[in-house]
Structure 1
Amino acid sequence: MKILAWGGRHFYHLPCVQQLTNYLSSPHRHEVMEQFFAECPVPTEPHPYKALEIFWNYNFFRRSSQLNSQIPVLVISGGKDFMFTYTMEEELAACFSNSKHLHLPDAGHLMMAEYPDVVNDAIANLIEIV
């Protein structure tokens, strides 16, 4: 994200860069994903990346012990996500005493777009518990 904020976002004007990142984000090559990428392009202006600066020095794992253990947490991961591994997601879920980990073996980094019904059902079930 820092590279994108510093100017790397200008590379997204190049169609080959967009195609490469789309390819790496999801193992699924179907109409739904093409529609997702068309409707949700990577921002090329600096404002969205500037907003993310608040997270750059944030250490979630140091702070997680201070969080209310009664808050239900749903961690969703994809087996074909190259950015967040299954182990990383298990470690994140373990930070909370009231957590569930939904692992979608065939999903990539964009599991919300790849498996919207599964993700929405999981969120709805979590909300019903609360």
Structure 2
Amino acid sequence: MGTMSRPGFDTEALRRGIEGTTAATLLSLYADDAEIRVVDRNTQPSNPKVLHGRDEISAMLEDVYSRDMTHKLEQCLVDGDQVAFSESCRYSDGVRVLSESMLTLKDGKIVEQTMIQAWDE
């Protein structure tokens, strides 16, 4: 009797998506009905920014990748259908951003993400 394998999460695609210059690769990792919750100085835990679906996620990512900044995937851990990763970013003027994300996967696609971010002021 054979075993069925579940689709895996492509951590190298995550790295290429984060460190790339467009949102396309990163966006391809999300399910159509994915949800992202963003917690930061402006959208605190009691009232996070919540994005529903690929259209809203795409708009956010297009905005981020239109900025003059670099992104680096620092660490990534995968445990079944859970992924955690750290990302560091730097604007051209030297301002830095750090982000920690926890993902939930279904069939190898991101269905939920909670992102906590902080930046230099």
Structure with more of its chain in helix, by fraction: 1
TM-score by length of 1: 0.20
Structure index of larger Rg: 1
More strand by share: 2
